[in-house]
Amino acid sequence: MSLRLGDVAPDFTAETTQGTVKFHEWLGNSWGILFSHPADFTPVCTTELGSMSKLKPEFDKRNVKILAISADPLESHNKWIGDINETQNTTVTYPLIADPEFKVANLYGMVHPAVDKFTVRSVFVIGPDKKIKLTLTYPASTGRNFDEILRVVDSLQLTANYSVATPANWKHGEDVIITAAVKDEDIAAKFPKGHKRVKPYLRTTPQPNL
């Protein structure tokens, strides 16, 4: 199954380290991040789960719920979380889905077609409307950049509420781009902080929600 941006994220019910999760119901009116791992006790993923754990307070501030998934059973997950907490100096408090039958992995197209029953390392950012806003897939050898995922969430939440886009390498607090849908004569009313006209098609303004 190939999921595209704008598709409704498939709903599912799964057992996790924090009990049964009915995904859409669990998400509620929050944003969500679903990120997958090939197996427990893998070195790169151990650092990733730890990194996400340390950043969880920042995602909490942005009303983003975190949900991880690995194909191993719950007993294995609980032992692995102990290792993560020990080696990464953190305490994992978000749920980790047990998916030994690859039900959720197949639903989201996480199983590598060339390697039977190998869950790829994917990230899905899902909006409160339950639609997919971002997908990323990483090779096994490269650890994911969760600061980048946080940056993308900032951009997605900003651009969902204002007629702006974010430029290359944008970070929270920096100027943004006014979208082409906004006419020049309407800019002053929409963006009272002022704007800069670099080119007719490139107009910038201070971040409007600060």
Catalytic machinery residues: 45
34 Cβ contact partners less than 8 Å away, ≥ 6 residues apart:
9, 67, 68, 69, 108, 123, 124, 126
Give the Cα separation of 77 and 94 in Å (integer). 12
Look at residues 57, 44, 52 and name the one whose alpha carbon lies nearest to residue 68: 52
Residue 78's CB is within 10 A of a number of other CB atoms, namely 13
